Amino acid sequence: MKPEKINTQKKVVVIGGGSSGISVVASIRKRVKGIDITVIEPGDCHYYQPAWTLVGGGLFDINETRRSMRAVIPPGTAWIQDSVVRVEPGPKYVETRQGQKINYDFLIVACGLVLRWDKIEGLEETLGMNGVTSNYRFDLAEYTWRLVREMQGGEAIFSQPPIPIKCAGAPQKALYLSCDHWRRQGVLNNINVNFCLAGAAVFGVPQFVPPLTHYLKKYRAQVNFRHNLVRVDGQRRQATFSLDGDEEGKREVTLPFDMLHVVPPQSAPAFISQSGLTDESGWCDVDKFTLRHKQWQTIFAVGDCCATPNAKTLAAARKQVVVVAENIAAQLNGAPDAARYDGYGSCPLTVEKGKVVLAEFGYDSKLLPTFPLFDNTHPSRMAWWLKAWFLPKFYWAGMLRGVEWFAKSKP
């Protein structure tokens, strides 16, 4: 289909100006002329979150991960700086916190997810102090690096909540880069490293478990499965975990720490379920192939807010935005859905400075390597170069501007 053939007055509203929201606007604009697109986004800034893990390891400049929202919104696109509080799919409008009602012909839900710091007792008041940090926040990733740099001995804990979370590998990426630094400084032997995760496996796709287990052993990290962080006492430097799977269901264990890297539980923004757009999990209930809402034909979703069973990653969003853009363009042409999403997601596991295990997989854990000639289950320098150098540059100059390399959808 030649994009320039479609010309329309239809109105698209996009909820969220994050990675998927901005990219989907750029991809639609490539295909459809004259379309009226409005982005509703409360924030002043746009973030490249995947590099925050590198910032926490002292390997990336935090300032390179943020740009003004105005600078990334594609030309000709309206921006309403507000939050959506409700979608009315029948009459086809959204309502914002400030009380505006905005009509749409097509709605794209791209609002990401909510980090539930509040679900861990005592956490919010001690974040950024007392050795408690998280790479999941722009303002804390540098604090992680300060703690890592200053640590000469003691107890380090890295926690991982129940899934789904965005970039499920990020909790252990923080561990690997910290341990690698301590190893290079010759202090790793003085540090007890605990990886406490709510689940029962270090990674969801079995092929990637052996290389990760190798690094966990190399760094002498104690792996504690079914340990779910429920309470933090920053003053006393104690972290309490509920032992999920315990028969009584209420046994807890408290561990001391000098450094605690927390990844919080995560959920879908509440307005999605309050607008009746969810499945029972609370995420936006779209078809896992077409990304079109199962009940409402004019609603699509992209990115972390989707109920689709893929890894919630920017890599997934990169492919999803093309599918949504193609399917909207097809509908405007009176054609059936043109594209299908195969569940692709990717997690570049930074197992040490200069080496990455590039986990790429789709629905049902099917391996989907971008470069099939390379064995992705082994750490590689080329994958590190992709993660640390190429992808951040490509993000700002390519993905946000509708460049769709390696993201072509499946017909």
Ligand X SMILES: Cc1cc2nc3c(=O)[nH]c(=O)nc-3n(C[C@H](O)[C@H](O)[C@H](O)COP(=O)(O)OP(=O)(O)OC[C@H]3O[C@@H](n4cnc5c(N)ncnc54)[C@H](O)[C@@H]3O)c2cc1C
Catalytic residue numbers, as ranges: 167, 347
Pick the stretch among 47-55, 152-160, 247-255, 403-411 that binds ligand X (CB under 6 A): 47-55
Q: Kindly tell me which of 42 and 199 has the beta carbon lying closer to ligand X.
A: 42
Closest CA to 110 of 316, 343, 394, 404: 316
Which one of residues 29, 181, 237, 312 is an interface residue with ligand X (CB under 6 A)? 312
Whether the CA torsion 126, 131, 134, 138 is positive or negative: it is: positive
Using CB under 6 A as the binding rule, whether residue 20 contacts ligand X is answered as yes
What is the smallest separation between the CB atom of 140 and ligand X, expressed in angstroms?
10
Which one of residues 3, 10, 79, 83 is an interface residue with ligand X (CB under 6 A)? 83
CA distances (Å), 332 to each of 12, 75, 298, 380, 395, in order? 12, 22, 11, 44, 28
DSSP state, residue 408: P
What is the smallest separation between the CB atom of 56 and ligand X, expressed in angstroms?
8
Closest CA to 228 of 119, 115, 334: 119
Pick the stretch among 14-22, 182-190, 237-245, 322-330 that binds ligand X (CB under 6 A): 14-22
Interface pattern 116-155 for ligand X (x via CB under 6 A): -------------------xx-------------------
DSSP state, residue 278: B
Q: Which residues, in sequence order, are CB contacts of 177 under 8 Å at separation 6+? A: 53, 54, 56, 57, 58, 59, 148, 350, 352, 353
What is the smallest separation between the CB atom of 335 and ligand X, expressed in angstroms?
27
Which one of residues 16, 164, 234, 379 is an interface residue with ligand X (CB under 6 A)? 16
Token output for 197: 């995760």
Residues between 258 and 297 with contacts to ligand X, criterion CB under 6 A: 269, 271
Q: Kindly tell me which of 165 and 193 has the beta carbon lying closer to ligand X.
A: 165
CA 71 to chain centre: 22
What is the smallest separation between the CB atom of 100 and ligand X, expressed in angstroms?
12
Pick the stretch among 197-205, 214-222, 273-281, 308-316 that binds ligand X (CB under 6 A): 308-316
Pick the stretch among 12-20, 99-107, 236-244, 287-295 that binds ligand X (CB under 6 A): 12-20
Which one of residues 92, 166, 227, 237 is an interface residue with ligand X (CB under 6 A)? 166
73/23 Cα distance (integer angstroms):
9
Closest CA to 356 of 324, 389, 332: 389
Q: How far apart are the first and last CA of the chain?
A: 12
Which one of residues 26, 50, 223, 299 is an interface residue with ligand X (CB under 6 A)? 50
What is the smallest separation between the CB atom of 83 and ligand X, expressed in angstroms?
4
Using CB under 6 A as the binding rule, whether residue 303 contacts ligand X is answered as yes
Residues between 327 and 346 with contacts to ligand X, criterion CB under 6 A: 346
Q: Kindly tell me which of 17 and 234 has the beta carbon lying closer to ligand X.
A: 17
Using CB under 6 A as the binding rule, whether residue 15 contacts ligand X is answered as yes
Q: Kindly tell me which of 246 and 279 has the beta carbon lying closer to ligand X.
A: 279
What is the smallest separation between the CB atom of 171 and ligand X, expressed in angstroms?
9
* C-alpha R_g of the chain: 21
Using CB under 6 A as the binding rule, whether residue 24 contacts ligand X is answered as no
Q: Which residues, in sequence order, are CB contacts of 302 under 8 Å at separation 6+? A: 20, 21, 24, 108, 109, 110, 291, 317, 320, 321, 324
Using CB under 6 A as the binding rule, whether residue 49 contacts ligand X is answered as yes
Pick the stretch among 107-115, 186-194, 326-334, 354-362 that binds ligand X (CB under 6 A): 107-115
Question: In which residue are the tokens 């790793």 written?
Answer: 188
35/160 Cα distance (integer angstroms):
42
DSSP state, residue 371: S
What is the smallest separation between the CB atom of 43 and ligand X, expressed in angstroms?
4
Closest CA to 156 of 165, 147, 167: 147
What is the smallest separation between the CB atom of 252 and ligand X, expressed in angstroms?
27
Closest CA to 302 of 294, 312, 78: 312
Token output for 61: 């400049």
Using CB under 6 A as the binding rule, whether residue 80 contacts ligand X is answered as no
Token output for 77: 């696109």
CA distances (Å), 194 to each of 147, 184, 255, 384, in order? 16, 19, 9, 25
Which residues are at the interface with ligand X (CB under 6 A)? 15-21, 40-43, 49-50, 52-53, 83-84, 110-112, 135-136, 166-167, 170, 269, 271, 303-304, 312-315, 317, 346, 348
